[in-house]
Structure 1
Amino acid sequence: MAGEGPNPFSHLLSELKIGDDSYKYYNLLDLKDPRYEHLPYSIRVLLESAVRNCDNFQVKEKDVHNILAWEEKQKDAAGVEVPFKPARVILQDFTGVPAVVDFAAMRDAVKDLGGNPNKINPICPADLVIDHSVQVEFSRTSRGEDDPGGGGSCGRCQDYGQPWCVGRRPGAQSYSRVHSISQGTRSRPNSPLLHSRPSSPSVYSPTPVSVSQHQSLQHPVYVMQPSTPVSGPIMVGMQQPWHYHPAAPTPTTPLPSLLTQVAVGDPPGAVPNYQQQTVSYTPVLHGYQTPVYPAPQYSQMVQPQHPASYYLGPAYMHHGSAPSSRPSTPDWHQPSHSDTHHNTDIEDISLRPCGVHRLHSRPPSMPSGSQSVLEAASKSDVPSTPSLKLSVASLPSPLDVPGIPIQDEVCPFHERISEWSDALQKNQDLEFERNFERFVFLKWGAQALENMLIVPPGSGIVHQVNLEYLARVVFSKDSVLFPDSLVGTDSHTTMINGLGVVGWGVGGIEAEAVMLGQAVSMVLPPVVGYRITGTLSPLATSTDVVLTITKHLRQVGVVGKFVEFYGPGVQQLSLADRATISNMCPEYGATVGFFPVDDTTIKYLRQSNRDERQIKEIEEYLKAVKMFRNFMDASQDPSFSETVSLDLGDVVPSLSGPKRPHDRVSVASMKEDFIQCLNNKVGFKGYGLPSDQLVKTVPFVYEGEEYTLRHGSVVIAAITSCTNTSNPSVMLGAGLLAKNAVEAGLCVAPYIKTSLSPGSGVVTHYLQHSGVTPFLTKLGFNIVGYGCMTCIGNSGPIPEPIVEAIEKNDLVCCGVLSGNRNFEGRIHPNTRANYLASPLLVIAYALAGRVDIDFETEPLGTGTGGEAIYLRDIWPSRSLVQQVEQQHVVPAMFKDVYARITTGNQRWNKLQAPEGMLYPWDQKSTYIKKPPFFEGMTKELPRTKSIENAYVLLNLGDSVTTDHISPAGSIARNSSAARYLASKGLTPRDFNSYGSRRGNDAVMARGTFANIRLVNKFIGKAGPRTIHIPSGEQLDVFDAAERYREEGHTVVILAGKEYGSGSSRDWAAKGPFLLGVRAVLAESYERIHRSNLVGMGIIPLQYLPGQTADTLGITGKETITIKLPETFKTGMTIPVTVGERTIEAIMRFDTDVELTYFQHGGILNYMIRKMI
C-alpha cells in the first residue's frame, strides 16, 4: 500500500482462495490478540484500515495498538486520537461543486506559488452524484389546465382518434364507446384516469377458459383486490360499460413469458347459469412501457365483487398488482372487424407516429382458436415505421426513469405526456436551465480531475445510489481485499452503515483532504450497543422504528459515539429497514449507526443485482476476518461501552415535529400534541398563540373554488428523501394505501402541494411494475424529479392564495414529508410546522388535509356511497405489502437502471465543457467564481495572531443548525444575496437556491445567517438581522459584517448548545469566515461543524461545564479578546476577556492534526503548502 515508509504489519498479508481466484488480505486474526474478537464490528473496520495503511507517518504503529486496546482507551477522558483512511469519498453536488471549485482554485494557487498544479487530484477515489439541484417547481398545484404538473397542450399525436390508436379515450361527459368517437375530436376532456369514480366490479377466477373470437381482446385486464366489495355493472377501459356475452369455452395455449390470465364477468350467483371465461393473450406495449422481468409464479385470487377503477394496460400479476401508469383505452364495444384492430408480436416492435409501440406477426404455433383471436387483432391498414427488433429479455424500461431521456410521446393521452412526466420533464428542464454553469463546471471536473466519477443529474439521490450501486462492501485493489469504507460531504452518508459499510459525514474541506490522500483524524469513539428484540406490530413501519430509535438515542446521548445494532430483532429488519435507521443517524446524534454484514446483506446484494463473483468475495473475506455476523448467535456479541435496548413490539405509528426530527409524537397523540404546541410558549414545541386565535379559519379561492385554511392545515405533502424512498416496503405500502383510498372514493384537496421524488429509478420501476403508480397519481403524488427535493428545502413555490392567507393571518400551516429533517424554515418559509412521517402517513394526512385529526375517531372523508371512511379501512396489511414487494422488486430492475447511470442523458451529454488542467474562470458567471481563500497566501507558515477587541456579530441560542447558518433553500427576494444577483442582471426567477450557488462566494457570504427563522437575541424575533453594536443600528447580518470589516473590527459568534447541528455543510464555516468571524464561543458543538470551523481557521471555544452566557452574565454587547498561547495543546483552556472581566474557555482543537490545520490557516492552506 502507498505510504511514507514500510508497513510494519506486512507479515499479516495472507492468501485467500475464492473459487479459481487468489487474493491477499491482512489477516487480523494473525495478530494473535484475544482482544480482537471482543471489539465491536465497526471498530474492527477501523483497525483493519490502520493495519493496512500503517506507514509510521500518517498512521503509526501505536495507532494500531490503541485501536486494539479500544475497550480501555475509549474511556480516556482526554480522548485518544486515531487516524482513519477511508476507502473512498462520496459527494453530492451542493457540497461537491464547492469541493471541485476549491480543487480548481488550489491548482491556481499551487501554480502561483511555483508548484505543479497537476498534483492537485483526488488520490482517494471519489464519487459525486448530482442530486440536489432539482426543485419541485411543477406539480399538480402549478399546472396548465387539467394536466398534473402543468402539462400544456402538445398536440403532436398524428393518430388521434384513429381506430388503430390504442390511446383513444371517451369524451368528457360520456364513458360509453360509440362509433362517432372513433372519428376523432380535438377537444380536451378531463382524463377519466384522474377524475373517474370507482364503481365497477370484477371477479377473479381460477378457472381457465377462453373468450370467443368476436371479442377481439387487445389487452389483458388486471385489477387489484380492492379494500371494499361492491356491486354493479362491469366496467373496463376508462370506465366504459362492457356488455359481456360469454361464449362456449375453447382450448387455449399460453404464450411464453408474457401471457397472463384474467376472468371478468358478473358476480358469481348473480346470473343463474353463468359460466366465467378467461383468455390468454399478449399485452400491448406502450410508449412508456413497463419492463418485462422474470417473474415468480403467481397464484390467482378468488374474490367476489371488486371494483375495477382503471383499465390495466400492460400485464400485471394478480396477487396484489395494480394498474400501469400508462393505461390505454381499447375499444371493447367495437364490432370485431379485422381492419379496425391491431395486436403485437413481442419480437417485432414498430413505433407508431404517436409513439405507441406496434407489434406485428402473430405468435408461432398457436392453435386455431387462440390464433383467430390474435390474428383478428394483429391486422391494420396503417403503414408502420421501420421496426425495432427487441427480445423479451431486452425490453426497454419506462422512458421516464433516470438514465433514459424523457420522450415526447403523447399517446395514449394525446396532448398529455404521461401522468407524471410533464412535471418531471419541466422540473428537469428548469434544473438544467438554472444550473447550466454549474453542470458545465462539473463536467470540466469530470474530465480534468483524475480518479473521480460524476453521476449525472436525474439519476437519483446520492445515498440511495450509493446503497443500490456504488457501495462495494468489500474492495479489491491490486488483488488485496479490504472492507469498503467512506466519508461523505452529506451528514446522511451514514445510510450506508445499514449495508455494513462504515462511513459518516464530514465537512467539504475535510473530504477534500481525504481525496488528497490525508487521513481523517478522530477520537477513538465509545460504541453504544443497541439491542433489538421482538417483532414489529402490523400497523408500524420502518419509519416508526427509526423515529422511535431517534428519540430514544437522543435521550441516551450518543453525540460523538458509534452505535452498533445487535440482537435477535435485527433479523426482523430488512436491509432497507436497516438503511432507514442508519440514515437518521445524524438526527440521533451518533457518528455511525452500524449494522454488520449478515445473510440479509448478502440477500440484498443479490436483489440489487451485484455481481455474483463479487458477492462471493464479500462473504468469504468477511468470514475470514470475523466481520460477518449472525444476529441470532449471542456468542458473537462484542463488548460495548454501554448497551440500550428496544422491543420492536413497543413501536407505534409515529411522526416527529413540528420543528425537530427527534421530537417524536405518536399518531394517537398527534391531535392533542399539535393543539398543545399552538398554546405553548415559542420554542421547539410551541408557537405562543393566544387562546382566541386557536380556532381561526381563513377562506381563500383556488382555481375558482373556495376552501378554508386554519392552524394545522396541510399545504405540502411530499414523499421524498432517501430515508424512505429507498425502502420498498413503505413505498409500496403508500401505493397500496393510495389504491385503497381511490377505490373508497377519497381524494386530496387540490391546493395541497403533493409530490413524489424517488431516490432512484428503481423506485419508479417497482411502483410501475406493481401497478400502484396511477393510484398515487390520482391523489396528486406525481413523480416530479429524482433527487433531494422537498427534504432539503427544494420544495418550490406553493399557490399564491395560500401564501397570502398564511402570511396575512399568521397561520401555523403544515408540511408532512417522508424526509429526515424538519428544522424551522427548512422545508418552506410558509410551513411553520413540519412533520416527518412514513410515506403512508404522508398520504393519510394529505387525505385528511390537516394534522390535528384523531384517526381512530375521525374519518378521512366520505366514500362514494356517502359512508365515512376511516384510516383503518384503507390501511394495507403488512402481509400484502411484503407479498407485493417480493413479487415486484427484482434484480433486473437494478440492472436496467444502473446500466445507464454513468452514460447520462441527452441534456448532460450535450453539455460542452472547457478542456485543460486549469479552469478558465468566467468573470460573468454568477454560479462559479474563484474563491478568495488563497489570496495573499505565502509558502511560509504564517504567525498565529490573537483576537483583540472583537465585537459579537450574533448572539444565538440552542440548536442553531447549519440551515440557520447557511441555508440551502430558495433565495428570498428581499435578501442581500438577492440584491447582489439583481445587480448582475438576474430576475427572481433566475435566483435559484443557495445550495445551487455554493460555487459563488459572493452569494454564499451574503446568504450566511440569512435564514428567516434565525433567532438573534439582539433582535428578539426571527429574521436575518442583527445590531451593529457601536452605532446601535439594526442591519442585515451581511451588511453589519461589512460595516465591521470597513471599521477594521474582527467579529465572533456567541451560541448555546449543539451549535452547528444538522447537515454537514462546509459553507456554514466558509460563510462566517468570509464575514470576518474568527471565533465561536458556544456551550457545545455538533461534531462535523466543529471540525469544519477548524478547517477554515476559526477557533471553536466552549464554556466550562456548567457555565453559559446567562450564568456568566454575558450580554453580547461587550468586546471580546482572545489571547492565544505560543504553544498549542489539544483541549487546552485559555483566557477570554469579555468586557472588563476574564473567563476561562476550552479551545476545542481535539487532535494534533487539527492544531496543524489551524496554524496553517485552514486545511486547504496546509494541503497547498504540502503540494508545493
Structure 2
Amino acid sequence: MNKDPYNIKQKLSVGGKDFDFYSLVELEKQGHEISKLPFSIRILLENVLRNYDDFAITKEHLETLIGWTPNASEKDIPFKPARVLMQDFTGVPAVVDIASLRAEVARKGKDPNKINPLIPVDLVVDHSVQVDYFGTNYSYEKNMDVEYERNRERYQFLKWAQQSFDNFSVVPPGMGICHQVNLEYLSKGVVERDGQVFPDTLVGTDSHTPMVNGIGVVAWGVGGIEAEAAILGQPIYFIMPEVVGLKLTGKLPLGSTATDLVLNIAHLLRQHGVVGKFVEVFGPGLDHLSVPDRATIGNMSPEFGCTITYFPIDDKTLHYMRETNRDEAQINLVETYCKANMLWRENEDKIQYSTVLELDVSSIQPTVAGPKRPQDKIALKDFKPKFIDLLGESFGRSYIDPDDRGQLLPNGEMSESIARFKEEGGGNQPTTEMRTERPDSSIEADENKLKTVWITQGSKKFELSDGSVAIAAITSCTNTSNPFVMIGAGLVARKARELGIDVKPWVKTSLAPGSKVVTDYLEKADLMKDLEALQFHLVGYGCTSCIGNSGPLPPQISKAIDEYDLVVASVLSGNRNFEARVHSQVKMNFLMSPMLVVAYAIAGRVDIDLLNEPISYDKNQKAIYLKDIWPSDDEIHKIMSDVLSPKDFAKNYGEIFAGNEIWRNLEVPQDMVYQWDDNSTYIQEIPFFKNISEEPHALQDIQNAKALLVLGDSITTDHISPAGAFNKDSAAGKYLLERGVPENQFNSYGSRRGNDEVMVRGTFANVRIKNKLAEQEGGYTTYLPSGEEMSVYDAAQKYKEDNTPLIVLTGKEYGSGSSRDWAAKGTFLLGVKCVLAESYERIHRSNLVGLGVLPLEYKPGDTAEKLGLTGKESFSITGISEGLTPHKELKVIAENEQGEKIEFGVIARLDSDIEIAYYQNDGILQYVLRQFLNNEA
C-alpha cells in the first residue's frame, strides 16, 4: 500500500535539519485548488494525507477533503490529533476507563502493559479547587489544603497513572487552567515527530479546548469517550463541516474589551446558526487582535455552537510565541513550515467560505450576557431595564427602585427606612421587609413585590434584595489569559481604592487566574494589593465559579436567600452561566469582563445604570461614577509593556510538573494493573468491560420502551450530567451516607466522577431540570406503571427490574454545553436505550453513540407536541435490527394507555458506518477492546 498516493511527500530544511512533510503546494500543482480551501480545511486535509492507511483512512476520505466545497457534504471524515488534553474532572473517568481496559485484558490472559496512550496526553488538574475561603491573604493556601484533603485519593490515582502509562503527563493542582496552560505552554503550532513535521492539532476533554484556535492550532472539545478512542489510536470521525467566514473590520473602540467583542460574536453566531460548523476568522480587523484577544474568542466556540473558531498563523502568532518564551528554533520551524505549506495567513481573498458574516469591531459597546445563556447579550446601557423585565417575566415580581426601598448608606449609617424597621423590632436574624407601592395593596399583591431582607453580619447591617450581587468572580481561562482585561481589572480596583470606595459587604469575591504568570505580572505592576484591598484575593489557580465551584455563601446570606426566595445574581468573567451552574442558590448569572466584575462588586447590585448612576459614594457622600474608576487603554498598555516578560513564563512553566510538597510526597502503588478498592467512594472499576464477549451481539429493535423523562428545549449537559454540590436527600447523598461518608465530606459530583455508583445517581438530578412527567422540579419522574413520583434513579432501577427499556423525549439543542462524558455514561447506566430529540449539540450526540445509546431525531417539522405525544405511551422502534445505515429512517409506534397508536418516522443520527459499529458494540471503547483482543488472539 502506497502511503503517499499523490506523491507529495517533500523535504523541508529548517535550522540545519531535514524533515519530511506532506506538501499542499505539490497537491495544488496537480490541479487541485488548495488555495481556495479555508486554512482549517487545509489542516484536516494534511492530517488525512499523512495518516492515510487505506483502512481507517481511505482514498475516499482523501478525495472528500480535497474536493471540499462551500456546501460541505454529508460524508464523514477522519481526524487523528497529534495529542490530547484533559482536565481532571473528565480526565479521572477517562483514566478509570483505560485502567479498566487493562484490568479486563489481564482477566482475559493478555498483556495489560500493551494498553497505553499511543499519542501524548497532558492532564491538568484545574477543576477541583473550590472557593471555601475568600477575601483573605490565606485564602489560596487554605483552599489548596482543603482541595488535597478532599481529593487525595483521586490525585494518588492520577499520579499512579502518570507513572504507569506511557505518553501520559499530569500538571498537578494549583498550577493553572488546562486551556491557559495549553495556550501559554503546551501548544507548539507545528510538531516535529519521527522525522516528520506537521501542524499541531489536538482534542480535549473540555469544550473550551478551541481556545488554542487563537494561536493557530486546530483543536476542539470532545467527550472523554472520543478522546480515549483517539488516545488508543482510533480516528475521530465527523461530518465534513461547512466553514463560516467571520470577516472582522475596524478595531475595538476605547472602553470596550475583547470580552465585549466575544459576547457580541456569541450573539451573532447563535443567531446565524453554526452548530457543527467551523468558523474561520479573517479580514483587516484581525490585524488589530492580539493572540490573547483571539484566544478569548476561540475559547467560547461552544457558546457559539461551532466546533472551532480558527485564526490562521501570522506575525501576531509568532510575536505571542516569543512573548511566552517559546524556543526560537521552534518559532522558526512554525514560520518556515507554514509559509512552505500554504498554512500562513495570506491570500485571504482567494478563499471560498460556506457563508461570510461581517462584524465591524469598532461598533462594539460594553456588554454583559445572561441571565442563563452566554449568547443572550445585553448592552451595558440596557442592563438595568433588561433586569427589571427579566425579574417580572421569570419571577413575577414588580420592581421597586433601590432609592425607595432603602440601602445602607456609604458612611456606614443606616438609611431612614432601615432605622425605622429596626426600631419596629428588626433583630439579628434575617427578616423580610415587604414594601409595596400602594398602601392599600393586599397581602397577595405584596408577595409579587421585589423582596428585601434585613441582614446583620457582625457589626455590619445591610439589606439584601432581588438583584443583589452575591458572587463576583474573576475566573475562567476565557478572560484571565488576557493581560489587557486583567491589568484593567487591577486598575479599576486601584482607582476605586484611591477614591475610598469598596465592594459591598454581601458580595463573595474571588480571583482565580488560569496560570501563575497572571499573579506574577499583577504583582510586578503592584496591582495585587489593590485587588486585595477590594477583597479580590487569590483563591486558587483553577476554574472555580465558572464550573460551579463557588463554594458556600456566607451563612446569613445563604439563609436569607433560602428563607425568602431572593433572586440574587452572580457576575463572573467566565464562559458559562447555565441554570444552577455557578451556584445552586443564585438564579441569575451574568458574564462580563474582569473589569466590570470589579465594578459590579462595588455597586453590589445589577439593577443599576452603571453608565449614568453613581456606582458608590465616598466618605464625604460624593458620588463616584464608573468613568471615575475606568482606566484608559493607554494606561493599560503602558503597564503591559512594563511588566510582561518571557522570563515569567520561563520561571512558571519551568516547574509546571513539579507540584507542591503535598503532591511530591503522595505515595502511589507501583502495580501496572490498578488495584481497585471496593470500599472506595471515589474510584471504582467501570462495569462496561467486565467479562465482555469477544464478539458484539446482533442489533435489536427496541420494544415497549417507557419514557424516563420528557424535556423541553436547550437541555444542557449541566442538566443531564452531575455537577457541583449535592445534598444528603439526593440519591447520591443517600448512597454516600449509607457508606459512612458524612455530609461535610460529600465533595462535588465532579470530584467523584471516578465512581459510577455516585454518578449514575446524579444523572438528570440537576435542581433546575424540568421533567414533564413529574410535578416536582429537579431530578424527579413518574414510574408510569404505578403512577408514583420518585427520583429518576429510583424509577430507572424499578424499570430495570421489569426489564423495561427506556427512552428520553426532548426538544432542540439537546446536550449543549460542556463536553461531559458522564451525561452519556449516566444515561446509558440508567438503562436509556435511545434519546428522541428535535436536534442535538455535536459533542453530546457523539458521546451518546460512543456509549451505545441511539440518538434519534424527529423528521423536519415533527415535534412531540405536534405528534400528540405525552411521554406516557409505550414506544416500539423498528428498522434497527436489519439494514441499519447512516441516517436511516426508523419507524416508531407509540401506544397510549387507551391502546391508541401514533406512528411516525425518525432519523437514526448514526452519521457514519463506524458509528454504527460503535453502537453495535455498546460503545466505542468496547469496539476498541474487541479489536485489541481479536488482534492479540
- Residue 105 of structure 1 pairs with residue 103 of structure 2: no
CA distance in 1, matches of 2:476, 2:845: 26
Equivalent in the alignment of 1:1146? 907
In the alignment, structure 2 segments of 5+ residues that lack a partner are 400-443, 896-900
Indicate the SS of the match to 2:790.
Answer: strand
- Residue 71 of structure 1 pairs with residue 66 of structure 2: no
Equivalent in the alignment of 2:46? 48
Equivalent in the alignment of 2:82? 87
Matches within 5 A, 1:798-877: 798-877=553-632
How many residues end up aligned between the 2 structures?
Answer: 880
Which of 344, 366, 382 in structure 2 is aligned with 1:653?
Answer: 366
Which of 424, 440, 450 in structure 1 is aligned with 2:156?
Answer: 440
CA RMSD after TM alignment = 1.5
Letter in 2 for 1:961: T
Equivalent in the alignment of 1:62? 60
Which of 426, 431, 456 in structure 1 is aligned with 2:147?
Answer: 431
**TM-fit CA distance, 1:424:** 0.6
1:544-580 superposed Cα distances (whole Å, 9 cap, x missing partner): 0000000000000000100000000011111100000
Equivalent in the alignment of 2:412? none
1:692-751 superposed Cα distances (whole Å, 9 cap, x missing partner): 634321111222322111110000000000000000000000000000011011101223
CA distance in 2, matches of 1:812, 1:723: 26
Matches within 5 A, 1:814-963: 814-963=569-718
Equivalent in the alignment of 1:26? 22
CA distance in 1, matches of 2:356, 2:494: 42
Matches within 5 A, 1:397-436: 419=137, 422-436=138-152
**TM-fit CA distance, 1:690:** 7.4
CA distance in 2, matches of 1:538, 1:555: 26
Higher normalized helix content (fraction of residues): 2
**TM-fit CA distance, 1:1161:** 1.2
Preserved contact between residue 678 and residue 694 of structure 1 (Cα < 8 Å): no
Q: Among the aligned pairs, what percent are the same residue?
A: 50
Preserved contact between residue 528 and residue 561 of structure 1 (Cα < 8 Å): yes
Structure 1 residues 9 and 902: CA distance shift in structure 2, 3 A: farther
CA distance in 1, matches of 2:744, 2:378: 38
Taking structure 2 as the reference length, the TM-score comes to: 0.92
CA distance in 2, matches of 1:437, 1:114: 29
1:971-1004 superposed Cα distances (whole Å, 9 cap, x missing partner): 2232111111111111111111101100000000
Which of 1049, 1073, 1079 in structure 1 is aligned with 2:834?
Answer: 1079
Preserved contact between residue 183 and residue 212 of structure 2 (Cα < 8 Å): yes
Preserved contact between residue 501 and residue 602 of structure 2 (Cα < 8 Å): yes
Preserved contact between residue 700 and residue 881 of structure 2 (Cα < 8 Å): no
**TM-fit CA distance, 1:525:** 0.3
CA distance in 2, matches of 1:925, 1:692: 48
CA distance in 1, matches of 2:772, 2:641: 54
1:596-635 superposed Cα distances (whole Å, 9 cap, x missing partner): 00100000000000000100000000000011114xx654
Equivalent in the alignment of 2:127? 132
Letter in 1 for 2:7: H
CA distance in 2, matches of 1:692, 1:435: 44
Preserved contact between residue 104 and residue 691 of structure 2 (Cα < 8 Å): no
- Residue 482 of structure 1 pairs with residue 198 of structure 2: yes
**TM-fit CA distance, 1:916:** 1.8
Structure 1 residues 10 and 516: CA distance shift in structure 2, 3 A: farther
Structure 1 residues 1021 and 658: CA distance shift in structure 2, 3 A: farther
1:648-697 superposed Cα distances (whole Å, 9 cap, x missing partner): 111100100001110000110000000000111569xx9xx978634321
CA distance in 2, matches of 1:937, 1:1023: 35
Preserved contact between residue 756 and residue 782 of structure 1 (Cα < 8 Å): yes
Structure 1 residues 634 and 999: CA distance shift in structure 2, 3 A: closer
- Residue 501 of structure 1 pairs with residue 497 of structure 2: no
Which of 8, 22, 31 in structure 2 is aligned with 1:12?
Answer: 8
Matches within 5 A, 1:164-203: none
In the alignment, structure 1 segments of 5+ residues that lack a partner are 141-147, 149-418
Which of 458, 466, 487 in structure 2 is aligned with 1:711?
Answer: 466
CA distance in 2, matches of 1:898, 1:8: 38
Q: Which has the larger radius of gyration?
A: 1
Equivalent in the alignment of 2:926? 1165
Matches within 5 A, 1:925-1074: 925-1020=680-775, 1022-1074=777-829
**TM-fit CA distance, 1:10:** 7.5
Letter in 1 for 2:606: V
Structure 1 residues 803 and 1087: CA distance shift in structure 2, 3 A: same
CA distance in 1, matches of 2:825, 2:215: 33
Matches within 5 A, 1:637-716: 637-681=350-394, 693-716=448-471
Indicate the SS of the match to 1:47.
Answer: helix
CA distance in 2, matches of 1:490, 1:6: 36
CA distance in 2, matches of 1:864, 1:479: 68
Indicate the SS of the match to 2:866.
Answer: coil
Equivalent in the alignment of 2:405? none
- Residue 775 of structure 1 pairs with residue 522 of structure 2: no
CA distance in 2, matches of 1:1169, 1:1048: 26
Indicate the SS of the match to 2:864.
Answer: coil
Letter in 2 for 1:96: G
Equivalent in the alignment of 2:427? none
Indicate the SS of the match to 1:435.
Answer: helix
**TM-fit CA distance, 1:1030:** 1.0
**TM-fit CA distance, 1:865:** 3.4
Equivalent in the alignment of 2:883? 1127
CA distance in 2, matches of 1:861, 1:75: 54
CA distance in 1, matches of 2:691, 2:16: 58
CA distance in 1, matches of 2:619, 2:696: 76
CA distance in 2, matches of 1:479, 1:10: 20
Preserved contact between residue 8 and residue 55 of structure 1 (Cα < 8 Å): no
**TM-fit CA distance, 1:24:** 2.0
CA distance in 1, matches of 2:518, 2:274: 33
Letter in 1 for 2:306: A
Matches within 5 A, 1:142-157: 148=136
1:242-293 superposed Cα distances (whole Å, 9 cap, x missing partner): xxxxxxxxxxxxxxxxxxxxxxxxxxxxxxxxxxxxxxxxxxxxxxxxxxxx
Preserved contact between residue 119 and residue 1171 of structure 1 (Cα < 8 Å): no
Which of 597, 622, 639 in structure 1 is aligned with 2:313?
Answer: 597
Letter in 1 for 2:329: R
CA distance in 2, matches of 1:945, 1:85: 31
Indicate the SS of the match to 2:769.
Answer: coil
- Structure 1 runs of 4+ off > 3 angstroms? 689-692
CA distance in 2, matches of 1:131, 1:1149: 33
CA distance in 1, matches of 2:914, 2:11: 35
Letter in 1 for 2:890: I
- Residue 744 of structure 1 pairs with residue 499 of structure 2: yes
**TM-fit CA distance, 1:1125:** 3.4
Q: Report which stretch shifted further, 1018-1027 or 598-607.
A: 1018-1027
CA distance in 1, matches of 2:683, 2:6: 46
Taking structure 1 as the reference length, the TM-score comes to: 0.74
Structure 1 residues 634 and 37: CA distance shift in structure 2, 3 A: closer
Q: Report which stretch shifted further, 1043-1052 or 460-469.
A: 1043-1052
**TM-fit CA distance, 1:1022:** 2.6
CA distance in 2, matches of 1:864, 1:734: 23
CA distance in 2, matches of 1:604, 1:1137: 58
CA distance in 1, matches of 2:642, 2:67: 47
Equivalent in the alignment of 2:432? none
Preserved contact between residue 852 and residue 922 of structure 2 (Cα < 8 Å): yes
1:212-257 superposed Cα distances (whole Å, 9 cap, x missing partner): xxxxxxxxxxxxxxxxxxxxxxxxxxxxxxxxxxxxxxxxxxxxxx
Letter in 2 for 1:672: P
